[in-house]
Each structure stands twice: as structure tokens, then as C-alpha cells.
Amino acid sequence: MAARVPYLTREDLPEADRDIFDNLVRDRGQPVGNIFRTLANTPRLLRRFLALGGDLRNGTAIDPRLRELAILTVGRIADAQYEFVHHWNIALRAGVTREKLNALGEFENSPVFNEEERAVIRYAVEATEKVAVSDATWNACAKFLGIARMMELVQNVAFYNMVVRVLVPCGVELEPGAKKN
């Protein structure tokens, strides 16, 4: 599917909002991604999106490997290739093995996952597919994570469910050259 919303450039933004792109380039060390160029059509909301997304990725105590397994699960279920490819690479940098990434679809029976990882992935599956999460799944995660990190998982999965529901309907395309490493 082709993009349904224009990818804005820095120059397309009102002068007062150009710092959004400047900060993205400074903080990420790469050109502004298509998701942000799409969301720039509503710069005020993009600012809030970036603040929450940044806090969820960089300001939480949940193990980044668990967070990325949950995010990848959301992207896989939603068939959001943009999300899946970008977070595949983030997961590798966070220390998730390629073997685990390749086995995500078979996480329940794959010996490469431990019980904590299975619980987190199961949570992401249930919250994404049904919204409701079983007591068994909740309790399995809470046993490993405690309340604060459990709430970080809840909010990460919820946020990335919102993200895929922007990416897919808007037809956000991978940037040229973007691929799974």
C-alpha cells in the first residue's frame, strides 16, 4: 500500500515546529523517519507522541529485551512491517538474539525462550488480539516484573498498539534502505 498521508519535511513545518525535526536528527543521528514525517501533519500531537514514546523507551526500568519482544509481538500481529523491521534492529541492539527474533511466532513451544519472556510475549499477544488479558497471563508477568515494571509493560504494549494503528491505515512505508539487520 502506498502512503496515504504526505511525508512532511522540516521545511513543510511551521517555523515554530521545525525544532521537532532538528531534535529528532540530533537525538537519533539519522534522517527523520517516515512515521514522524507522517505524524508531522499534526505537529502538536507529534510533540506529545515523541515525549511519551521517548519516556517509554528510555525512561523505564523494564528490561529493554523484554520491552522489544513485546513491541515486536504487537508489530507481528498487526502485520506492521515498518514497526517490525525497525524494532527488530532495536531488539538486536538491546541484546535479543536473532534466534529468538526468528522464533517469535512459535514462542510458546520454542526452547529459546524462558518463562519470563513467554509471559511478556503472551501478554502482548492477548492485549493486542483481545484487549482483555487473562488472570494467568497477568499474574505470570507480575510475578517476574512487579507492579511498576508491569505497568511499564502495559503502557508500552498499549502505546505500540496505537503506533501500529497509525502505521497500517496511513500506509507508512519503510525508508529506502531500511531492512532487518
> Residue 43: what pLDDT?
97
Same domain, 73 and 155: yes
Could you give the angle at the alpha carbon of 115 between the alpha carbons of 114 and 119, nearest 5°?
120
Q: Mean per-residue pLDDT for 128-157?
A: 97
**Does the residue 5 lie in any domain?**
no
Same domain, 108 and 151: yes
**Does the residue 177 lie in any domain?**
no
**Does the residue 155 lie in any domain?**
yes
**Does the residue 139 lie in any domain?**
yes
Same domain, 100 and 139: yes
Render pLDDT for 84-109 as a digit per residue (tens, 0 to 9): 999 999 999 999 999 999 999 999 99
**Does the residue 30 lie in any domain?**
yes
Helix (H, G, I), strand (E, B) or coil at 167: helix
**Does the residue 53 lie in any domain?**
yes
* Backbone phi, psi, residue 120, to 5°: -65, -45
Q: What is the DSSP letter of 17?
A: G
Q: How far is the C-alpha of 148 from the C-alpha of 101, rounded, in Å?
A: 26
Structural domains counted in the chain: 2
CATH number at residue 85: 1.20.1290.10
| pLDDT higher than threshold 90 for residue 1 | no
**Does the residue 15 lie in any domain?**
yes
Same domain, 77 and 148: yes
Q: What residue numbers bound the domain in which 40 lies?
A: 10-58
Q: Are residues 75 and 160 in contact, defined by beta-carbon separation less than 8 angstroms?
A: yes
Same domain, 24 and 86: no
**Rounded to 10 degrees, what is the CA torsion of 69, 73, 76, 81?**
-50
**Does the residue 170 lie in any domain?**
no
Q: Are residues 109 and 80 in contact, defined by beta-carbon separation less than 8 angstroms?
A: no
Render pLDDT for 12-63 as a digit per residue (tens, 0 to 9): 999 999 999 999 999 988 899 999 999 999 999 999 999 999 999 999 999 9
Same domain, 79 and 119: yes
**Single-letter amino acid code for the residue at 180:** K
Q: How far is the C-alpha of 151 from the C-alpha of 173, rounded, in Å?
A: 31
Q: Mean per-residue pLDDT for 122-132?
A: 98
> Residue 29: what pLDDT?
87
